């Protein structure tokens, strides 16, 4: 099975701060870095690091060389990438003392993913293949519709959430990977309780399976028949940026490799914990070997 990730590519402008800047306040950052990111790109790298065969499609500007290079370095196939006349997408990210972030994205070239381009890319994929989408590019709804017409398995990470999401044909989605903010929004339930979100999601999308990540409170896989819980591994948080993307990539790689859900969740959880303990988004994603070594050690200690 080939995985097509039609997703965003961003240049992350990361400001290390004591606390998030408040209205009317000016603060000085302690450090500044520009690194590769974008939920799409991060998830492609996580998939590749977890051993999956992944094709990344999306749009970049003339300034996007570093984005192509990092994908190539990790053996992600980049033949479908297109150049737009706009600059590459970017994200302004504050990371505070506790390693938490807040993020503003600026679409740039990510907003130039057009219907004809989607048709051209999808022409090379079939019902044997899977498409992964996030919500940082244009025409996600069109991509869902066309991928379904081709019989592809559809995975959606509905991040970031916005009102447009409700207009997408989400009844065609096979897997959702979401965090509690996205889970609450899509479930339509005014609740912070995961159990109620899960019920709401199953009612709204009975055709789908879900992964709901809850940060330090673990993650659930659930579908109409079963529910599997995975604890999270506790680490000292340096930078949480990209941890969710790491989880998504590792989980999906396990799924396409035919590994058990329990096993895929466990690797994803360990990979995300390692990502949280490091700076940056894409650069913080660990290798499968490292993840396995730590998990094997845990097995021996049990």
| Binding residues for ligand RIB (CB under 6 A) | 8, 10, 12, 37-39, 42, 91, 103, 105, 136, 241-242, 244-245, 281
Tell me the closest approach of the beta carbon of residue 159 to ligand RIB, in angstroms.
Answer: 7
Measured from the CB atom, is 37 or 254 closer to ligand RIB? 37
Using the minimum distance from each CB to ligand RIB, give the nearer residue, 99 or 242: 242
Minimum gap (Å) between residue 281 Cβ and ligand RIB: 3
Q: How far is the CB of 38 from ligand RIB (least distance, A)?
A: 4
Closest distance between ligand RIB and the C-beta of residue 126, in Å? 29
- Give just the sign of the alpha carbon dihedral 8, 13, 17, 22: negative
In terms of CB distance, is 129 or 136 closer to ligand RIB? 136
Per-residue tokens: 262 = 């329990």
Asked if 39 contacts 59 with a C-beta cutoff of 8 angstroms, the reply is no
- Residue/partner pairs of 21-24 with CB below 8 Å, 24 or more apart: 21/94
Min. distance of Cβ 169 from ligand RIB in angstroms?
23
How far lies 253's CA from each of 62, 132, 199, 212, 246, in Å? 31, 11, 26, 17, 11
Q: Which is nearer to ligand RIB, 146 or 179 (CB)?
A: 179
Instruction: State the Cα–Cα distance between residues 128 and 132, nearest whole angstrom.
Output: 14
Q: Which residue has the closest beta carbon to ligand RIB?
A: 37
- For the chain, what is the radius of gyration of the CA atoms? 18
Please identify, using beta-carbon distances, which residue of 78 and 240 lies nearer to ligand RIB.
240
Contacts 24+ apart (CB under 8 A), 164-167: 164/135, 165/135, 167/141
């Amino acid at each position: 099975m080939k995985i097509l990730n039609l997703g965003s590519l961003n240049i992350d402008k990361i400001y290390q701060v004591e606390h998030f800047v408040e209205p009317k306040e000016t603060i000085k950052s302690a450090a500044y870095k520009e690194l590769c990111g974008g939920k799409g790109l991060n998830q492609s790298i996580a998939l590749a690091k977890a051993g999956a065969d992944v094709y990344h499609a999306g749009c970049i500007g003339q300034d996007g060389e570093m984005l192509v290079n990092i994908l190539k370095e990790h053996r992600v196939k980049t033949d479908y990438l297109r150049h737009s006349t706009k600059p590459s997408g970017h994200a302004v990210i504050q990371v505070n003392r506790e390693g938490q972030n807040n993020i503003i994205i600026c679409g740039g070239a990510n907003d130039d993913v057009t219907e004809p381009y989607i048709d051209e890319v999808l022409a090379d994929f079939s019902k044997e293949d899977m498409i992964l989408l996030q919500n940082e590019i244009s025409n996600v709804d069109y991509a869902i519709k066309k991928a379904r017409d081709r019989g592809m398995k559809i995975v959606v990470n509905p991040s970031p959430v916005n009102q447009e999401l409700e207009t997408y044909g989400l009844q065609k989605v096979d897997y959702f990977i979401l965090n509690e903010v996205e889970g609450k929004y899509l479930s339509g339930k005014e609740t912070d309780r995961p159990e109620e979100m899960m019920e709401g999601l199953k009612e709204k999308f009975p055709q789908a399976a879900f992964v709901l990540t809850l940060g330090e409170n673990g993650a659930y896989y659930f579908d109409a028949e079963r529910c599997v819980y995975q604890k999270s591994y506790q680490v000292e948080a340096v930078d949480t940026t990209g941890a969710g993307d790491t989880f998504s990539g590792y989980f999906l790689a396990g799924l396409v490799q035919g590994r058990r859900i329990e096993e895929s969740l466990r690797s994803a959880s360990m990979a995300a914990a390692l990502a949280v303990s490091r700076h940056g988004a894409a650069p913080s994603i660990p290798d499968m070997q490292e993840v396995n070594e730590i998990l094997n050690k845990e097995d021996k200690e049990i």
